[in-house]
Amino acid sequence: MNHPRVAIAAVVAWVAYLGVSFLVHTVLLDDLYKQHLGAMRPEADQAAILPVGFVFALVGFFAFAYTYAKGYEGSSGTQEGLRFGVLVGILICCFRLIWDHMVWPVSLQLTAAWMVESIVEFALYGVIVGLVYKPVPRAARAGVAL
């Protein structure tokens, strides 16, 4: 495994996440969020804990990139990253978002938007990680001079 490239892939995907999340959650889903203000923290409270969310997202992207690298099969990084990202998005939907819908008073429309957003976003992050991550060449792993 190429650990420096895992780290670079994680940071690049995280930076993309910062921009994409802003676009999705402040522009695209704004109307849906306005319909659910009673179920959400006040905006000032959200802003106060936003840095914590950014740190945890970065940690998550390190885990995401590491898991991608562990499962890398040697084909196109774009294809493997897309497949990996879609699967992670589906996992998030099945293990978290549907349960959020059951626990929190949000509409099925918002839950469905979160599900689509998760699958599409993580497909994008998978492609980014797949493009950035490059495995250590076999000759280097075997100790052969390049």
pLDDT tens string 83-118: 999 999 999 999 999 999 999 999 999 999 999 999
Length of the chain counted residue by residue: 146
Q: Can you give the pLDDT at residue 146?
A: 46
Q: Considering only CA atoms, which of 11, 21, 107 is closest in space to residue 65?
A: 11
Residue in the block written with tokens 């390049």:
146
- Per-domain residue ranges of the chain: 3-140
What's the pTM? 0.88
Whose tokens are 């196109």? That residue is 76
Residue 144 pLDDT exceeds 60: no
Query: What gap in Å lies between CA 52 and CA 70, rounded to an integer?
Result: 27
Q: CA-CA distance, 79 to 89, in Å (whole number)?
A: 15
pLDDT at 143: 57
Q: At CB < 8 A and 24+ separation, what contacts does 78-82 make? A: 78/127, 78/130, 78/131, 79/130, 80/126, 80/130, 81/126, 81/127, 81/128, 81/129, 81/130, 81/131, 81/133, 82/123, 82/126, 82/127, 82/130
Report the C-alpha dihedral over residues 69, 53, 18, 5, rounded to 10 degrees: -20
Average pLDDT over every residue of 38-58 = 94
Which of 41-50, 63-72, 137-146 comes out lowest in average pLDDT? 137-146
Tens of pLDDT, residues 1-46: 899 999 999 999 999 999 999 999 999 999 999 999 999 999 999 9
